Amino acid sequence: MTNRLRPLQNNSIELIIFDCDGVLVDSEDLSKQQLLSMLTTLGADVSPSYFDQHFLGLSYQHVQAKVQQDFGVLLSADFQQQYHVALMDLFAAKLQATLGLTTLLDQLNLPSCVATSSTPERVAHALDVTQLASYFNGRVFTAAEVPRGKPAPDLFLHAAARLGYLPENCLVIEDSPAGISAAIAAQMQVIQYRGASHLKHKPYDLSNDLPATHCISHWQQLTILLPKLISTDKH
């Protein structure tokens, strides 16, 4: 049975909730590169496709449990900090905002925020390095603030509640199946962003268990799908 696209309700959207990694910043390939290199040295030969299926968009705690369960490798207490330090160095050298994002953010006429599985330190660093922090002052929410991370809806519901919006008036922009599942569970509208390096040249491959999802591969397409989100008078 083919899933049908649920229509987007342009006029009902009052808040845009952005994921960070793979949406605002083109970070997933960098994260994959660093993590797989470090896991290989510990004897966990994790493939890129396994990363995409089991790690993408999920918390470090989930990754840690999967590595132990599927590869028999127990990550040490200081592994996360070692990974964090190495990744921050890599971000400082190579991380970029996704193409055309700042033009979109400059034109938005609706409030926006960030809701991410990243740690507070990692998302702050990513937004600083890419000069995006000023767009989201005081409106960055992480999985550390809720009992359950994605694919549970907790984080998106938390962000909406903190900013005073009803779930049905929120649009989530996500890249990962876990994030899309979370948005659907939160009863929010959702668009998959496929313009970052890790999805740009891959086929649409969301699980059949998920409803078909509107996709964009460039931020200009968002303004075509939902023209009322932007003001052409802003520069």
- Please give the mean pLDDT across all residues of the chain: 91
Tell me what pLDDT residue 157 has. Answer: 98
CATH entry, 10-26+95-229, from 3.90.950.20, 3.30.450.20, 3.20.20.70, 3.40.50.1000:
3.40.50.1000
Q: What is the pLDDT of residues 56-87, one digit of tens each?
A: 878 888 999 999 999 999 999 899 999 999 99
Q: Would 10-26+95-229 and 28-94 be classified into the same CATH topology?
A: no
Q: What is the mean pLDDT of residues 169-192?
A: 95
Band of pLDDT at residue 127, cut at 50, 70 and 90? very high
Q: What is the pLDDT of residues 10-63, one digit of tens each?
A: 889 999 999 999 999 999 999 999 999 999 999 999 999 899 889 987 888 899
Map 117-184 to HEC letters.
CCCHHHHHHHHHHCCCHHHHCCCEEEHHHCCCCCCCCHHHHHHHHHHCCCHHHEEEEECCHHHHHHHH
Topology annotation, domain 28-94? DNA polymerase; domain 1 (1.10.150)
Domain residues of the chain, as ranges?
Answer: 10-26+95-229, 28-94
Tell me what pLDDT residue 206 has. Answer: 57
Residue 125: HSE in the Cβ half-sphere, 13 Å Cα cutoff = 18
Q: Indicate the burial class of 228 (C-beta count within 10 angstroms; 0-12, 13-18, 19 or more).
A: exposed
Q: Indicate the burial class of 100 (C-beta count within 10 angstroms; 0-12, 13-18, 19 or more).
A: middle
